[in-house]
Structure 1
Amino acid sequence: MRTFTSLEEVVAAAGEELGTSQWLTVDQERVDQFAEATGDHQWIHVDVERAAQGPFGGTIAHGYLTLSLLPVLGTDVFALETPGAKLNYGVNKVRFPQPLLVGKRIRSHIAIGECTELPAGLQMTLKHTIEIEGEAKPACVAETVVLLLP
């Protein structure tokens, strides 16, 4: 695990691969809880019997559920212990190349992209690739943006 304690350390790491998280199984309970929290109860995510007859042979995780797992997967790879607040500033790009079948395991490969000084602080991009165990294509590729306040 890589720990950053200063904004200068973050800037110096721009362009570096940070590492890969542990595997995480995405089970039906997690998918159902996400559906409940978001109100997205589409059958392909929550109706196990109907989804078994559908295009993927089972339920699939919501794309936004996969995206929402970036922070927990990231805790295996790096920590930002810089002095100020750390704010989710947005997402530049997100793609879901492969459906994530419920019951599969995923892990995240993370790299630091660009670091840009702003009047409010340091803007850092993180590049995430969410690999599905045994699949050629990732479940999610995302470039997130974090604002680190001094």
Structure 2
Amino acid sequence: MSSITIRSLRELEQYEGQELGLSGYHTITQEQITRFAEATLDHQWIHLDAERAQAESPFGGTIAHGYLTVALLPYLWTQIVHIENLKMQVNYEIESLRFNQAVLVNSDVRLRARLLSVKDLRGIAKARIEVALEIRDAKKSAYTGVITFLYHFL
């Protein structure tokens, strides 16, 4: 895993249409799932009750919240691309996000990213990025979609 360093809108444009790489793996633990449940007030048993999830759910154990896996996007993205000379980054849009497979507790996930397009909005870079959250040793990704960040460079 190596990250790309981008220092300007022009440098970002050079990667348009390219696969940018993979993040490192991140293990989703029960503690992280529980803390996310507390933060979001989503206490559904499939996330928190290991005994019941093992007995009753089709997954055979607890699973991460879908939105927990989405919330990992900025953390995993910064392992792929390091942006310098930045005043601000804004999460702008998520397009056609599709959850393909549940992420079981203690699964390792990583982000795969491809820069679809870069648009210059009067000096602000609008970057559309195709993403897939891969699960180690799984055939299907946890989700796929397109995210858009706005980069306000110095």
Secondary structure, counterpart of 1:110 in structure 2 = strand
CA-to-partner distance for each residue in 1:54-73, whole Å, 9 max, x for gaps?
A: 11100010100000111111
* 1:120 positional shift: 6.5
Question: Residues 104 and 132 of structure 1 are in contact (CA less than 8 Å); yes or no, is this contact kept in structure 2?
Answer: yes
CA RMSD of aligned residues (A): 1.2
Secondary structure, counterpart of 2:125 in structure 1 = strand
Same amino acid, percent of matched pairs: 39
CA-to-partner distance for each residue in 1:90-141, whole Å, 9 max, x for gaps?
A: 2122111011011111111111111112246221111111111111000111
Q: What stretches of structure 2 of length at least 5 have no aligned partner? A: none
TM-score (norm 2): 0.92
Comparing 21-30 and 76-85, the one that deviates more:
76-85
Counterpart of 1:15 (choices 14, 17, 22) is 17
Supply the AA of the counterpart residue of 1:40. Answer: D
Counterpart in 1 of 2:41? 39
Counterpart of 2:27 (choices 25, 28, 34) is 25
Distance 1:148 1:50 in 2: 44
Question: Residues 113 and 125 of structure 1 are in contact (CA less than 8 Å); yes or no, is this contact kept in structure 2?
Answer: yes
Counterpart in 1 of 2:6? 4
Comparing 75-84 and 46-55, the one that deviates more:
75-84
* 1:148 positional shift: 1.5
Counterpart of 2:85 (choices 82, 93, 110) is 82
Question: Residues 22 and 73 of structure 1 are in contact (CA less than 8 Å); yes or no, is this contact kept in structure 2?
Answer: yes
Determine whether 1:149 maps to 2:152. yes
Supply the AA of the counterpart residue of 1:49. Answer: E
Supply the AA of the counterpart residue of 1:84. Answer: K
TM-score (norm 1): 0.94
Question: Residues 7 and 82 of structure 1 are in contact (CA less than 8 Å); yes or no, is this contact kept in structure 2?
Answer: no
Supply the AA of the counterpart residue of 1:30. Answer: Q
Secondary structure, counterpart of 1:76 in structure 2 = helix
Secondary structure, counterpart of 2:87 in structure 1 = coil
Distance 2:22 2:30 in 1: 24
